[in-house]
Amino acid sequence: MAFLFDFPQELFDQILDEYVTITPLPEVFRARVVCRAFHRHIDHALLAETPAQVYRHTDAHAQPAIPWLSGPRSFLKKNSYKFLLNHCKDNRGTNIEYTKLVHSLVDRLLVSADGQIRAPDIALRERYLEDICRGTGFVGEPTDYLLGKNVNKYKRDREFPSSDGNSRTYYYGMFSEILNGDMLAAAAAVGHRDAVHSLLAHGVSLQQTNNHLGCPIKLAAVNNQIRVLFEILEWAKGRLNEGGKSTWVTLTPIKQAIEYAVDANAGASVCMLQEFLLTLGERTQEAPEYSKDGLERMIAVRAASNGNARYVMPWLEESASKNSQDKHKENLKTVLVLACTAGQTKLVQRILDVSSGPEDFCLELSMLAAQHGHRALIDLFQTYGVVMGPQHLLKSLEGTVENRIETADPSKTYFLIVQHMINSGVAVDLHILKRCEMLATELFRNRYISDYTKHISRTDKAMATILVAHTAMNHVKRSVLKDQFYTKTFFKVVLNGRHKVPYAPLPFTDMAREVVEWIESPEPE
């Protein structure tokens, strides 16, 4: 394949769009496939922000396609629950065809949801259970039971042939409970109230309810299925024993459901779950820490990372009126630190505009933004009087680029944040060169290790190192740069072609050659 930057941009876009269209995989897998198809060429383009639509296009259209038979099975079973939650947070259950399909699956399963296991129903129920587990991504245990992976833990009652012809052992006492638990989660996710009512009344046993209710509550919350959520919570609340303790629901899944609902901006679910925990706290001794103040703080802290001002601003206003100045300042700093770490520029600006006193730690927050590669935040803090200096550039080089790349965000690399600061006039000093020497040492020692998972990170570090060293030619003496042994040695590796660097957006190979020639040339008299 020709090198990516030899393609005209219009031709590359056409090839990419056609490839994404014909690839027989759900949208959520296509970004991985595209990256593997173009291999290192696509990495260079991502780092240079040339075709940013590689990820943006797939992320914008990512929905849990049904069925997920085209994807890798082991990967699906491991991550499908995560995909569903992400889908629900992004789409809030607006995928009508998806909702209708799960309704249909639940209806067909309810035909055999009477707790009786009959041989003719095994293949049908197994097939549709796998569809539900793939399509709505519930816990892997039900599928493991049905596929016979855990049969040694339980009594072997009888074997039935499965749909693929292999004999599997089923445990009578747990089969209907597990199956009905997954149907309950599927029904809760799409708001199938009749199915939820039927399964709660007849289909879930006492021993399994803690596991089964956690997932339905979370899925109903993120989809804002208020009626279903209310029915599940009332059903659990009504089964508190005389001592006020509940063996039917634990606090952990409720707390997680609140967090997921905040992420999805499902306000009605957040209010209902919050009221439920407050009511439960009045009747139990295990929930005193879930007070009104504690829950509001938890919600505001979670919302700060997502940039959701709906929950953050009222909490800060209440904190300013109720707490002491020092306590309020601590709360304000907590929210700002989380928002800066997540790169929530709009929320940070809104807090700075309406709050008094945050100027005291604007410098600290700007350093945090630089460390995580948030260029928009750096520009924002400059408008509030923060002067960007070498210490900010040094912080940006200390960030963990591996975490940035794993999130498929090509806008927060070492190179882009370094380039942004250098273009803003930040000078390169000795401390920055020492940090680049450490990066060059790592790159030089790993030059023979072929690890594709690290290739993006290494290329990004090489780009940043070359840019810093080339800029240092105008800021430090020749002898200072000559002392950076591994920097010069690694640049020669680049020139020899052992370590590839992209041709855009800067001529990195030519820049590395200029640095080496400048170092090796004699000092002017």
Report the predicted TM-score, pTM, of the whole model to 2 decimal places: 0.64
Per-residue pLDDT band for 203 (boundaries 50, 70, 90) equals low
pLDDT exceeds 60 at position 94: no
- pLDDT, position 356: 67
Across 77-86, 239-248, 394-403, which has the greatest mean pLDDT? 394-403
Q: Which residue in this structure is represented by tokens 């940090």? A: 435
Distance CA 438, CA 182 (A): 51
Higher pLDDT, 63 or 446: 446
pLDDT exceeds 60 at position 225: yes
CA triple 123-125-130, angle to 5 deg: 95
Distance CA 229, CA 235 (A): 10
Q: What is the mean pLDDT of residues 65-73?
A: 34
- pLDDT, position 57: 38
Per-residue pLDDT band for 183 (boundaries 50, 70, 90) equals low
Strands 158-161 and 167-170: antiparallel
Per-residue pLDDT band for 287 (boundaries 50, 70, 90) equals low
* Percentage of the chain lying above the pLDDT 90 cut: 0
pLDDT exceeds 80 at position 494: yes
Distance CA 49, CA 413 (A): 10
- pLDDT, position 359: 64
Distance CA 361, CA 2 (A): 50
Dump pLDDT digits (tens) for 409-438: 556 778 888 888 888 888 888 888 888 888
pLDDT exceeds 50 at position 226: yes
Distance CA 182, CA 106 (A): 10
pLDDT exceeds 60 at position 113: no
Q: What is the mean pLDDT of residues 188-210?
A: 65
Question: Domains of the chain: which residue ranges?
Answer: 4-60, 63-238, 407-520
- pLDDT, position 257: 85
Distance CA 162, CA 130 (A): 12
